[in-house]
Amino acid sequence: METSKLTGAALDWAVAKCEVGAEFIGEINDPHFYSTDWANGGPIIEREGISLSREFVSGQFNEIEWACWTPAFVRDDADAFGYGPTPLVAAMRCYVSSKLGDEVEIPAELMEGENQ
């Protein structure tokens, strides 16, 4: 699935995979809600140097999207970006993109009910 479209349990699983590593792959029920709980997602934003900003979507003043990026000098690689309806969703998409790339394989059990 495209990293830019991850939401809910699928996004939280992908973040947990980045945090814990390959040994997490077999465990789907991580208790951390990175994309909705600042106590879990906030430390990642700080540690990874993820920058947050608000942007208007398509020139509409009533539609705001959050944009995040991690500059290359922080990662020793290329810039990573993430966008989303909330700061945490955007930041966690950015984090997953920086660690796993633009496409992520998500377990089928987590994709049930997700918008693809």
**Residue range 69-114, pLDDT digits in tens:** 987 655 556 688 999 999 999 999 999 999 999 999 988 887 765 5
Please report whether residue 116 resides in a domain: no
The pLDDT tens digits for 27-78 are 555 567 999 999 999 999 999 999 999 887 666 566 778 999 987 655 556 6
Please report whether residue 54 resides in a domain: yes
Please report whether residue 37 resides in a domain: yes
Q: What is the largest CA-CA distance in the chain?
A: 44
User: Domain containing 69 — which CATH number?
Assistant: 3.30.2120
Pairing of strands 51-57, 60-70: antiparallel
List of residues 6+ apart from 54 with CB closer than 8 A: 64, 65, 66, 67
Could you give the CA distance from residue 45 to residue 26 in angstroms, rounded to a whole number?
Answer: 25
Please indicate whether residue 32 or residue 10 has the higher confidence score (pLDDT). Answer: 10
Give the domain range for residue 69: 3-25+32-111
H/E stretch holding 65 reads: strand 60-70
How many folded domains does the chain comprise? 1
Global pTM value: 0.82
